[in-house]
Amino acid sequence: METTRRESSFTNLLIGVLCILLALPLFIILHKQLPDPDWPYSSDRIILFILVVLVLLLILRVFRILIIVGLVAAIGLLAYGTYKGRYGFNDLALDYRAMLYTMKDDPVFSGLLMPGDMSFPHRSEFMAAMDDSNPVVRDFALKAINENFKEEQQRYYEYRTLIQCFAIFKKINTNWNYVSDSRSREYFAKASESVKLMAGDCDDHSILMAAAIQSVGGEPRLIHTTGHVYPELLIGNKHDLEQINYLVKQKLFPQESNGQSINYHVDEQGKIWLNLDYTAKYPGGPFMNEKVLNVMTW
């Protein structure tokens, strides 16, 4: 009788451990795939996790052998993904940490911004000045990337391009000196010109930021407000936002973003864009309060 009880206790303990081990990756997968209802206090995530645990407990008690085989297979796939440089243990850990971090520190939704049209003021001048194919601009971007976040670029390879764009942001915004245009005319400095001087107004800053980011595969856009222009960077969907929220605040810009929130806009396709204004100390910093008038994409 005592032996049976011990076996039963051990079996229940094993089922509990397996349930937690399986619940975490399964919860993350479901969280990434299901629509985000965005309930307050992350209650949707809490309810989903509880449901996953309850369902797994039921399944484990009925299909113990199959679940154990499945667990071994899942560990094998993660090990294979880690070895081959695909989705592996590090990615799973990042997803889990990012999700938990976002549950206590949600980014701030700042509104829906549609793609722009040909009415963007001085569109042709902006396009002509963004000489991202100029070797000077490309060299500047590569130097910025080599100076900042090299370890994170290797470790979080899924977001390597975005981290490289953040390295460019840090290089520019750390060194940018705001200088107004002449009162007599509006001047649009080429990116290859601003690289050498690291000075100019918001137009010049936006042009350099957008050109440098585009030269390394990032996707920028420009926002025109009442008396101001600033760049934004496409980071992806809500799942990507969780990862970026964690990386920016915990790994890349922890001091600059301390006590602050990640601010973002969403376009009509549900894609998320972060603020890269010269006034921002970190990607996704607070927006200036002017009313948004136009959006320029290309």
Q: Is residue 223 helix, strand or coil?
A: strand
Please state the domain extents for the chain.
2-104, 109-296
Q: What is the model's pLDDT at position 155?
A: 86
Distance, CA of 28 to CA of 40 (rounded, Å) = 19
Q: Which of 99, 120, 71, 148 is nearest to 223 (CA)?
A: 120
**Record: fold of 109-296:** C8orf32 fold (3.10.620)
Are residues 209 and 189 in contact, defined by beta-carbon separation less than 8 angstroms? no
Q: What is the model's pLDDT at position 46?
A: 81
- Tens digit of each residue's pLDDT (9 = 90 or more) over 59-95: 777 776 666 677 677 777 778 777 776 677 777 777 6
Distance, CA of 225 to CA of 190 (rounded, Å) = 21
- Tens digit of each residue's pLDDT (9 = 90 or more) over 254-285: 999 998 989 999 988 889 999 999 999 999 99
Distance, CA of 274 to CA of 179 (rounded, Å) = 24
Distance, CA of 216 to CA of 94 (rounded, Å) = 24
Q: Which of 209, 216, 253 is nearest to 230 (CA)?
A: 209
Q: Which two tokens stand for residue 115?
A: 């793609």
- What value does the mean pLDDT take over residues 291-296? 89
Q: Is the pLDDT of residue 97 over 80?
A: no
Helical segments of the chain, H only: 2-33, 43-62, 64-84, 89-104, 123-129, 135-147, 150-155, 160-175, 191-197, 202-214, 238-246
Q: How many CA atoms lie within 13 A of 2 on its CB side?
A: 0
Q: Give burial (CB, 10 Å; 0-12/13-18/19+) of 227.
A: exposed
